């Protein structure tokens, strides 16, 4: 049985995500992690394939061989969300973001999108972004535009979002071991509702 390591932030709890992956990818031993440190550890367990954001793959010396697409493109919009008026990239002083690559890598990623002036507060789960706004630790939070609705639904705050000009590549998979071909073939046939959770409509 081929082994797949998945490192993605989604709008469901980690355990539920693991169950969905196991059910949706029969014949593949799937491990889902939600923290950068857990991902680095799990990489040492020799997975046959790795599914994550291309920036994470690249940071670990991996090259995407199967890419996720939505609306005909392999990239998606990110949004900056705040309370009241939408924050402006280039002016926002503090930003909450998902920790993708540890402190240094995440800071670099966030500042590429919102400007070098931003102080970055990292969290490990999408739902942890809201408290940063509630206690006014940050002026805005950064996340894929498709997840803004989930954030709004979970909050009583008057949230306002603004799509950023730059895009970020959608999830992709890299080959790492002898069983990769079989794992990637199964991944390419992932059920539509599971793909949608990752922001993906098709794999190619």
Domains for the chain: give ranges and CATH numbers.
2-72+170-203 (3.40.190), 75-168 (3.40.190.10)
CB 72 within 8 A of CB 66: no
As a whole number of angstroms, the distance between CA 114 and CA 125 comes to 20
Q: Which of 152, 149, 143 is nearest to 125 (CA)?
A: 143
Predicted TM-score of the model (pTM): 0.96
User: Which pLDDT tens digit goes with each residue over 125-176?
Assistant: 999 999 999 999 999 999 999 999 999 998 888 999 999 999 999 999 999 9
As a whole number of angstroms, the distance between CA 104 and CA 125 comes to 18
As a whole number of angstroms, the distance between CA 49 and CA 3 comes to 7
As a whole number of angstroms, the distance between CA 7 and CA 10 comes to 10
- Name the stretches of the chain with pLDDT < 50: none
Question: Which residues in 111-120 are b (16+ Cβ under 10 Å) and which e?
Answer: bebbeeebeb
Q: Is the dihedral of CA 145, 150, 153, 155 positive or negative?
A: negative
Stretch (H or E) spanning 47: none
Q: Which pLDDT belongs to residue 175?
A: 97
CB 189 within 8 A of CB 178: no
Estimate the share of the chain in helix, then strand, then coil, as percent rounded to the nearest 5. 35, 30, 35
As a whole number of angstroms, the distance between CA 164 and CA 166 comes to 6
Q: Which pLDDT belongs to residue 130?
A: 95
Q: Which pLDDT belongs to residue 198?
A: 97
Cβ burial of 172 (10 Å; 0-12, 13-18, 19+) is: buried
Residue 52 token pair: 């994550």
Q: Which pLDDT belongs to residue 138?
A: 97
Q: Which pLDDT belongs to residue 23?
A: 97
């Amino acid at each position: 049985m081929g082994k797949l390591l998945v490192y993605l932030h989604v709008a469901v709890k980690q355990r539920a995500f693991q169950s969905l992956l196991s059910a949706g990818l029969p014949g593949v031993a799937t491990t889902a992690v939600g923290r950068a440190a857990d991902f680095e550890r799990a990489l040492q367990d020799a997975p046959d394939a790795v599914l994550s954001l291309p920036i994470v793959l690249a940071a670990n010396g991996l090259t995407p061989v199967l890419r996720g697409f939505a609306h005909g493109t392999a990239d998606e919009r990110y949004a900056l969300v705040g309370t009241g008026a939408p924050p402006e990239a280039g002016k926002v002083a503090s930003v909450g973001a998902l920790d993708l690559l540890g402190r240094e890598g995440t800071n670099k990623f966030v500042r590429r999108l919102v400007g070098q002036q931003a102080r970055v507060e990292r969290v490990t789960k999408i739902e942890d972004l809201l408290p940063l706004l509630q206690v006014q630790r940050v002026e805005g939070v950064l996340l894929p535009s498709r997840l803004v609705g989930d954030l709004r639904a979970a909050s009583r705050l008057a949230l306002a979002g603004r799509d950023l000009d730059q895009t970020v590549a959608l999830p992709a998979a890299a080959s790492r071991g002898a069983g990769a071909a079989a794992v990637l073939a199964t991944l390419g046939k992932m059920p539509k509702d599971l793909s949608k959770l990752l922001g993906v409509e098709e794999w190619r």
